[in-house]
Amino acid sequence: MKYLLVKVVNIHLNGSIYDVIIIGAGMGGLGAGIYLQTKNSNLKTVILEQHTQPGGYVTGFKRKGFYFDGGAEGIMGMDDSGSLRLALGELGFEHKFLREDPLEHYYYEDKEFSLYTTREALLKEIEIQYPDQKEGFERFLKRCKSIIQEQQNGKPVPEQNKPYIEFIKEFVTSEDIIDAFNLFCLWFGATPSETPAIHIAHIIIGVLEEGVFYPKGGMQAFSDHLADFYVQKGGKIVYKSMVRKIIMNKGRTVGVKLLDGITFEGKFIISNADVKKTILQYVGKQYFPEEYWQSIDELRQSVTGIMLFLGVDVDLSKYPSHFQIGCDLNVVEKVNNNEFTLDKLAIRIPSNIDPSLKSQKGDSLLAFIFQPYNWENYWRAGPNLVRGDEYNSYKEELTDKLITKIESVIPRLREHIIVKELATPLTFERYVQVTDGAWFGPFSFQELPSFKTPIDNLFLVGSSIKGSGVPSALRSGLEVGKYLLEKHLS
């Protein structure tokens, strides 16, 4: 990897002031940096990233030769004519992607079902597995499509205020199918009754028309590639740089201060960091109108969860790359009610999409499920989040439970384990410095802040302003980069 690992000693780099300081090398920060540097290579921009690698939640790591993705697992809008791919292509950035099809495979009590990403294959699967649902499901798809058209033509949409669960039940009665398509509510950590039908219509048609893709080489390879591209265009990334303060002077930002006391000066600041921390801690509420900081303070965070990483000395290529065990429409509701649940587990085997990720020793597998942030007194770490013996032994206990669940599909898996690690909500919280370890930033279906803040040279990017998902975070970065360039830096 050839990121510019600038040793953080001589911070002003010849005493100069940066045009733009970007806090965080997640999708939002990288998108903004890439746009700015590509469109004007004379700009001096820097990304300050607290971690040792780029990507934020678009991440991956290796243990004993096994590769694991640690967050996002599929990206929409990356087919050859996909809008995001074209937007990146226009800047000269190309990455190879592999289509995830089926997008998900379900192991239900007495049936298996594959959620294919082409209309024909999907309808065929429904006809085979649930023949009595085919006609209703075809009407459902037709209605999804016409909702989008009506919306585009400015016509009133009767489903305007309808949730997913009521919408789909007008067409389909099988709980399995309702559960399978609830996937698109889970992508936002939302219950089926709080996810707008219109939103689901867009996602389903988007998935069927554009597909969902996996970056060749894994999620970390994609983030590394974006970071390399930014550096090639003249940008700088300084890792291990935890921003703790945004420095203010006469109502404007003038720079940032890192955890170790080092300061960077900049004319504009774009924050890809957690929005609550950016506004309430790094700047401080005294610099904002009360109404604004209160609206940030009151933002509801999305759900978090646990993730298990297993490296095994056995070939798992006969299993689907993405699958789920169990049917449970109430998983998010349970988590919102502070209940622990293992009723539905999602499994990923990255080398079954990209065989180049296979380890010489066997395969890697990851399993995850939403869970409350504060379960069992912060996962037995206590309110001070001390990851001691109790925390570690609880992780062992949970790992065992998860493996037992996975063994309902992959028998005797525990006999083959070489690598075993469990991430809790505390791990996610620390990894990207996000409030409550939220997987999707602030909950998507609420009024999110604008990219502009009341401070005229401070901007926000990422899922904090656009909602969950790699495409929205990346796109927000490109859009803020464009805005800044056109309005302030041209």
Ligand X SMILES: Cc1cc2nc3c(=O)[nH]c(=O)nc-3n(C[C@H](O)[C@H](O)[C@H](O)COP(=O)(O)OP(=O)(O)OC[C@H]3O[C@@H](n4cnc5c(N)ncnc54)[C@H](O)[C@@H]3O)c2cc1C
CB of 262 or CB of 314, closer to ligand X: 262
CB of 84 or CB of 168, closer to ligand X: 84
Q: Which residues bind ligand X (CB under 6 A)?
A: 23-28, 48-51, 56-58, 71-75, 241-243, 272-274, 368, 432-434, 439-441, 462-463, 468-471, 473
**Least distance in angstroms from the C-beta of 104 to ligand X:** 11
**Least distance in angstroms from the C-beta of 33 to ligand X:** 11
Amino acid making up residue 283:
V
CB of 136 or CB of 255, closer to ligand X: 255
Q: What span, in angstroms and rounded, lies between the C-alpha atoms of 365 and 350? A: 7
CB of 172 or CB of 186, closer to ligand X: 186
Contacts of 154 (CB under 8 A, 6+ apart): none
**Least distance in angstroms from the C-beta of 474 to ligand X:** 8
**Least distance in angstroms from the C-beta of 244 to ligand X:** 7
CB of 129 or CB of 427, closer to ligand X: 427
Q: What span, in angstroms and rounded, lies between the C-alpha atoms of 409 and 412? A: 9
Contact status, residue 266 vs residue 21, Cβ threshold 8 Å: yes
> What backbone torsions phi and psi does residue 267 show, to the nearest 5 degrees?
-80, -35
CB of 238 or CB of 316, closer to ligand X: 238
Helix (H) or strand (E) segment spanning residue 179: helix 175-181
How far is the CA of 69 from the CAs of 116, 329, 332, 434, 489, in angstroms? 22, 25, 22, 18, 37
Considering only CA atoms, which of 306, 307, 319, 305 is closest in space to residue 413?
319
103-139 exposure pattern, b = at least 16 Cβ within 10 A, e = fewer: bbbbbbeeeebbbbbeeeebeebbeebbeebbebbee
C-alpha 377, offset from chain centre: 26
Which DSSP string do the residues of 297-360 spell out, in sequence order? HTPPB--EEEEEEEEESS--TTS-SEEEES--TTHHHHHHTT----SSEEEE-GGGT-GGG--S
Q: What span, in angstroms and rounded, lies between the C-alpha atoms of 288 and 286? A: 6
**Least distance in angstroms from the C-beta of 128 to ligand X:** 27
- Per the structure block, which two tokens stand in for 373? 């942030």
- Using CA of residue 476, residue 481, residue 484, residue 486, what is the dihedral sign? negative
CB of 57 or CB of 66, closer to ligand X: 57
CB of 122 or CB of 480, closer to ligand X: 480
**Least distance in angstroms from the C-beta of 92 to ligand X:** 21
CB of 191 or CB of 302, closer to ligand X: 302
DSSP state of 211: -
CB of 133 or CB of 195, closer to ligand X: 195
**Least distance in angstroms from the C-beta of 231 to ligand X:** 16
- Apex CA 75: angle with CA 183 and CA 46, to 5°? 130
- Per the structure block, which two tokens stand in for 257? 């201060």
CB of 351 or CB of 463, closer to ligand X: 463
**Least distance in angstroms from the C-beta of 449 to ligand X:** 13
**Least distance in angstroms from the C-beta of 139 to ligand X:** 28
Q: What span, in angstroms and rounded, lies between the C-alpha atoms of 477 and 129? A: 42
**Least distance in angstroms from the C-beta of 188 to ligand X:** 9
Contact status, residue 283 vs residue 460, Cβ threshold 8 Å: no
Considering only CA atoms, which of 305, 312, 336 is closest in space to residue 425?
305
Q: What span, in angstroms and rounded, lies between the C-alpha atoms of 467 and 43? A: 29
**Least distance in angstroms from the C-beta of 75 to ligand X:** 5
CB of 130 or CB of 188, closer to ligand X: 188
Location of structure tokens 């990255």: 350
**Least distance in angstroms from the C-beta of 354 to ligand X:** 15
